[in-house]
Amino acid sequence: MELRSTLALTVLLNTVFFFTGCIKKSKPDNPINDFANIKEITLKGSEIKLENDSVLYDPRTIDVFDSLAVFYDNNGYTAFSLINLKSGKLVKRFAETGSGDYKFNINSVGLSRVRNSSNEFTVYEASAPYRLFKYNLDKLLTSESYHPYLVCKLPAETYFINPIMQTDSTIIGNIGFSKLDNKVFGIWNLNNNKLTTGVDLTKSPDARFKEFYYDENIGWTKTVLRPYLAFRPMSEQVASFSTKGALFQIFETTNDNPKILSEKLYYLPEFNILDLGNKSFKSKLTANNRYGYNNIAVTKDFIYTLFNGKPSESSNLDVVSTNIILVYDWNGTPVKKIILDKDCFQIAIDPQNPKTLFTLTAFKNIGIRKFTLND
């Protein structure tokens, strides 16, 4: 659920309840249909054994750097766990909870690789003061007193989702709440504190969703989509695939001028807005809503997407996992359909080792599997 404090009052609330309440249940377009004529590839993986059950607490994401993996693994004290994939041993936990220069609201942080770097990543705090820190993995490993570098505080009036450090002077990211209405992607220049946009949220041809694009509603729509971003290695191209609803967009960011190269909207997320009082609201997915792409992993040739497509409102934890990987090229063309031997929650590929895929199972059945990718 997305939580947002805003000055919008009954106009927003009435409008949102109206457009979600009037939507009739219908079968959404399915990304799998685009792969109907593509032969399935079945992959069998091998389990990576952890040293003991306490190595990981509650992992929800995985990023791989050679033989190391970083997990968002909130244990109430630290946000991330660093694991050696060869030995299965815990190397380090970092990003402590609390207030202070190098402490975090660990319930609102996310990690992204720094573009074209093999050993750097950023941690973004998606709550005030919206800080973005850059970590050097080598220094994190070797120094007990290491602190990350504070890159910037991103503007509160433009809510970035999973921002990525493109260069030393630019940050790219999907945009949720803002005064930019339908703009869904932006580049933040650190030198002049200027935001450049140019990409709109893809329009649905379905008249049922007309109200989703109204000015008072579109910020919620963009935020609930909750897309994953990834840069094509050694390129200016960026892939964005949504976790709620099913939308993909592929951007070109040359000269800090974002342009759409390819996009397709299969279905939008369906949700209500709940009034919590004190000018605070949150989104709640409806029974009609379906998950989109759990997350993505990229190489220079392909975009690997972990496609879910299941109804999201269920008490069964199995709905968050899947074994279907839909593979697109960087033109947005479907090229492969991979079926894994076990369901998973997240996937990861180290761009330095593009033939190896890692998967993460979470919740009550924590596990890491390794797969070899073929051409």
In order of start, what are the domains of the chain with their CATH numbers? Answer: 3-372 (2.120.10.30)
Each residue's pLDDT tens digit, 12-34: 333 344 344 444 444 558 999 99
Task: Name the CA radius of gyration of the chain, rounded.
Answer: 20
Q: Is the pTM of this model over 0.85?
A: yes
As a whole number of angstroms, the distance between CA 319 and CA 315 comes to 8
pLDDT recorded at residue 28? 57
Each residue's pLDDT tens digit, 96-146: 999 999 999 999 999 999 999 999 999 999 999 999 999 999 999 999 999
Burial class (CB in 10 A: 0-12, 13-18, 19+), 273: buried
Q: What is the mean pLDDT of residues 254-275?
A: 92
